[in-house]
Amino acid sequence: MSAREVYLAADPVNAEIAKDVLVNHGIGAHVRNQYLWGGMGDLPANVYPSVWVDEADDYDAARALIRDFERGALNDGRPWQCSACGEYLDAQFQQCWNCETLKPAD
């Protein structure tokens, strides 16, 4: 019965989004340090908001969700065009629904 850190966010907005992803999947989670971030001037530079699962048992599932979240953030939500058939696909699709070609890595 102990909390465990699963994600160190670049800013409080990212931390909240990541936490919401976990909560929406039924994993109890909370953000720490979000109120320390920014504007205080005299805080150490390594104080970033972090997301914690309430139960360490949820850590592995939470990490998998965070990985998906980070990959989505990196892809920037842009639609992509299939290199094989030319179909336009929304960012959340990892594979062309028309010809099953995998989404190219950026």
Contacts with Zn ion, residue ranges (CB under 5 A): 82, 84-85, 87, 96, 98-99, 101
Contact indicator for 69, 58 with CB cutoff of 8 Å: no
**Between 37 and 80, CB nearer to Zn ion:** 80
β-strand partners of 5: 52
CB of 34 to Zn ion, least distance (A): 42
Spatial distance between the Cα atoms of 22 and 19, rounded to a whole number of angstroms: 5
The DSSP letter of residue 103 is P
Tell me whether residue 38 or residue 86 sits nearer to Zn ion (CB atom).
86
Least distance from Zn ion to the Cβ atom of residue 99, Å: 3
